[in-house]
Amino acid sequence: MSEQYPNYEDVFKAADDRYASLPYRRTGRSGLDLPALSLGLWQKFGADYAYDTQRDIILHAFDLGISHIDNANRYGPPHRAAERTLGRLLRRELAPYRHELVLSSKAGGVFGPNPNLRGGSRKALLSSLELSLRDLGTDYVDIFYHHTPDETTPLEETAGALATAVKAGKALYVGISNYRPDRAEAIARLLRAEGVPLLIHQPRYSLYDRSIDRNGLADLAVEEGFGLIVYSPLAQGLLTDKYLESIPDGARAQNSDFLKPDQIDETYRSRTAQLNKLAEGRGQSLAQLALQWVLRNPAVTSALIGVSSKEQLDHNLEALNGPEFTDEELAVIDEYGVHGTGQRS
């Protein structure tokens, strides 16, 4: 046993066959490969959930080949809690595997009352990165994102701060999230001039939110050579069978800032029922169909999934084994998977 990591195998030893089945994809024109499904800690990894459950999910994901874990300074609650949760695991069970992990963090979203704890300034981004490294207990993150566009700060300053993170050895790659195509193209150009190409963009994408196909972002990613890692591929749970009849007790729609009961109307239910019927005919759940659909887009490198149990993780991974879509099935999906369904007005 290594002297550097004494007794770690007594706590956790990763599965020897963890890379045997999960497909990996190249991120744009970079050399980085990411798993087709990545684990996001946006929700359910704060202080309001049991650490033992969080631990079991993350370690199970790694055993299944999910080496990419997506995080942000403001994920909680409270802010910074999700990175501290992961840091606790990194200091213990996952320490011997740090070289295999792709860890991402984001900065720029509001995570405190101070006006410099948000936005795209050098102060906001680089101070946040220092806090993330401290919370994670690592010397670097693999991907460092600007989380939320900030049109009050010169884009040159934001690009320069991201480039500084890489040149200082505190990030290996940089990314952006939620940027419009025109602004994404502009910062890609600025980063290229700094010698730090844009690796990846993280937009929302699902059957019910097809913005990246409609606004040209997917085409831009291919042209510019950056990858897309999409979040909310299940539309905050709308692309499951959970809400077909009613809103169950304890469901996300009862207590989430991102999904409200008024989004679950009869139009949503009728369309979702048809998609669910199609999924059942294919031997899948609606969630599996929805994940398989986003991954068929050639611009998409990976889809982020958030789960509350190991069983849910296993279920979602089965999306990778679904049968290819027929032209007839894709026509049904286009008929009922209507952009804007279930979105807040």
Q: Position 184: which residue type? A: A
Structure tokens at 251: 């469901």
User: What pLDDT shows up at residue 254?
Assistant: 42
Is residue 326 one of the residues assigned to a domain? no
Cα-based distances in Å from 238 to 15, 250, 285: 33, 15, 13
pTM of the model: 0.93
User: What pLDDT shows up at residue 3?
Assistant: 44
User: What pLDDT shows up at residue 59?
Assistant: 98
User: What pLDDT shows up at residue 2?
Assistant: 42
**What DSSP character marks residue 322?**
P
Is residue 228 one of the residues assigned to a domain? no
**Residue 156, helix vs strand vs coil:** helix
Q: What does each of the 345 residues of the chain score in pLDDT, given as a tens digit?
A: 344 545 566 789 999 999 999 999 999 999 999 999 999 999 999 999 999 999 999 999 999 999 999 999 999 999 999 999 999 999 999 999 999 999 999 999 988 889 998 999 999 999 999 999 999 999 999 999 999 999 999 999 999 999 999 999 999 999 999 999 999 999 999 999 999 999 999 999 999 999 999 999 999 999 999 999 999 999 989 999 988 875 555 555 445 555 556 677 899 999 999 999 999 999 999 999 999 999 999 999 999 999 999 999 999 999 999 999 999 999 999 999 999 998 875
Is residue 187 one of the residues assigned to a domain? yes
User: What pLDDT shows up at residue 255?
Assistant: 54
> What is the count of structural domains for the chain?
1
User: What pLDDT shows up at residue 1?
Assistant: 36
Is residue 62 one of the residues assigned to a domain? yes
Is residue 255 one of the residues assigned to a domain? no
User: What pLDDT shows up at residue 259?
Assistant: 54
Is residue 85 one of the residues assigned to a domain? yes
Q: What is the CATH number of the domain that holds 68?
A: 3.20.20.100
Does the bond joining 248 to the residue before it have cis omega, within 30 degrees of 0? no
Burial label for 225, CB within 10 Å (0-12, 13-18, 19+), is middle
Which phi and psi angles does 300 have, rounded to 5°? -90, 125
- The range of the structural domain enclosing residue 158 comes to 23-202
Is residue 164 one of the residues assigned to a domain? yes
Give the Cβ contact number of residue 216 at 10 Å: 16
Bridge partners (DSSP) listed for residue 304 = 38
Closest CA to 61 of 82, 36, 30, 79: 36
Question: 265-283 burial by CB neighbour count: b if 16+ within 10 A, else e?
Answer: eeebbebbeebbebbeebe
Q: Position 194: which residue type? A: E
Long-range contacts of 165-171 (CB under 8 A, 24+ apart): 165/125, 165/126, 165/129, 166/196, 167/196, 169/139, 169/140, 170/129, 170/133, 170/139, 170/140, 170/141, 170/144, 171/129, 171/140, 171/141, 171/142, 171/143, 171/144
Max CA-CA distance within the chain? 61
User: What pLDDT shows up at residue 286?
Assistant: 98
**Residue 119, helix vs strand vs coil:** coil
**What DSSP character marks residue 8?**
G
Is residue 266 one of the residues assigned to a domain? no
**What DSSP character marks residue 128?**
H
Strands 102-107 and 37-40 turn out to be: unpaired
